Amino acid sequence: MRIGDLAQRTGASVRSLRYYEEQGMLASQRSASGQRHYGEDAVCRVLLIKQFFAVGMTGKVIAALLPHVKDSGERCPPAVLRQLTAERDRIDAQSDELARTRQTLDALIRTTEEAMRGAPPMNTT
Amino acid sequence: MRIGDLAQRTGASVRSLRYYEEQGMLASQRSASGQRHYGEDAVCRVLLIKQFFAVGMTGKVIAALLPHVKDSGERCPPAVLRQLTAERDRIDAQSDELARTRQTLDALIRTTEEAMRGAPPMNTT
DNA sequence: CTGAGACCTGACATCCGTGTGAGGGGCAAG
DNA sequence: CTTGCCCCTCACACGGATGTCAGGTCTCAG
């Protein structure tokens, strides 16, 4: 599979895929002429990378963790384990924050909607 | 209260406070000489701003929402209401993502810890 | 073989929140 | 008045992920 296909199948841009490789998160087989080729597993890998990015992990962190994700069951150096738990804790904190903020927004939305039931249309679109 | 005090009480940097003002998220009374002065309420406001930032909202969005947060119960233009709900949905999605990722990490951590119980010390610190 | 389209590298551009430094003014205590 | 500290504005820098452009090469269908 070439980079364009991988991009299409993962929803990542070609640029991003190259960036992932540059940062050591994603490997590729290079053809004689230097073109990147990927196996099926690359799809999952990229999706995982995207997932990690989506929860606010940084490229460096992901690059550090990913090798140990793939061959799971293998030994994980203590430093990596620490980072792993650090990220998990960060995620927990983030979850709490999200929950709190969700409540704030929700209250606000409810108030507004109630107010709107009283005097519906308004020209301030 | 002057900007330094506010910074200290909220944990935001002076720089950030000025930035918040510049982006229309935070107002200040200016003394004749141009120095910023804040009331007690500014503390809550800044904390709220920080909270919003912490869940990934962008400055523009926050600036758009905040005015309606303060005088809650007031009319909220439909556009703002839409943004409000959009943000809430985004937060919900983000929460799911976090939960999924948390599981991934957790599984990884558990596997590693179990592996470590088998053959403890390792020199790859 | 040829041409279209996908790919390569390298570099510069963007956005966003923040840091930082320069150069200057305000204000209160001694 | 002076000293020391806080404040002001302006402006440039950064980091991270991505976009985009330029100039060149590869691949495959026709």
- B94/A99 Cβ within 8 A: no
- Check residues A83 and A123 and name the one with the higher pLDDT: A83
Å separating the CA of residue A2 from the C1' of nucleotide C9:
17
Residue A24, C-beta contacts closer than 8 angstroms, at least 6 positions apart: A63
Mean pLDDT computed over A11-27: 95
Q: Give the percent of chain A with pLDDT over 70.
A: 85
Asked if residue A73 has pLDDT above 60, the reply is no
Query: C-alpha A41: how far from its chain's center?
Result: 17
Rounded mean pLDDT of chain A? 86
SS (H, E, C) chain B: CEHHHHHHHHCCCHHHHHHHHHCCCCCCEECCCCCEECCCHHHHHHHHHHHHHHCCCCHHHHHHHHHHHHCECECCCHHHHHHHHHHHHHHHHHHHHHHHHHHHHHHHHHHHHHHHHHCCCCCCC
pLDDT for residue A116: 63
Question: pTM for the whole thing?
Answer: 0.83
pLDDT for residue A79: 76
Asked if residue A114 has pLDDT above 90, the reply is no
| Listed residue (B116, B120, B122) closest to A74, CA to CA | B116
Say which of A51, A78, A101 has its CB closest to residue B91. A101
pLDDT for residue B72: 53
- Least-confidence region, from A23-27, A32-36, A48-52, A103-107: A103-107
What's the rounded Cα separation, in Å, for the pair A101 and A115? Answer: 21
- Check residues B20 and A69 and name the one with the higher pLDDT: B20
Tokens standing for residue B90 = 């985004």
pLDDT for residue B118: 63
pLDDT for residue A125: 43
Strand D contact with A18 (CB < 7 A): no
Å separating the CA of residue B26 from the C1' of nucleotide D4:
30
**Identity of the residue numbered B104:** T
Residue of B108, B124, B125 to mutate when probing chain A, most A C-beta within 10 A: B108
Residue of A44, A52, A76 to mutate when probing chain B, most B C-beta within 10 A: A76
Instruction: Print pLDDT tens along chain B (125 aa).
Output: 999 999 999 999 999 999 999 999 999 999 999 999 999 999 999 999 999 999 999 999 999 888 877 655 556 677 778 888 889 999 999 999 999 999 988 888 887 777 666 655 555 44
CB A13 within 8 A of CB A45: no
- For residue A23, report the phi and psi dihedrals to the nearest 5 degrees: -90, 0
Strand D contact with B2 (CB < 7 A): yes
pLDDT for residue A99: 94
DSSP H/E element including A86: helix A78-118
pLDDT for residue B125: 42
End-to-end CA distance of chain B: 49
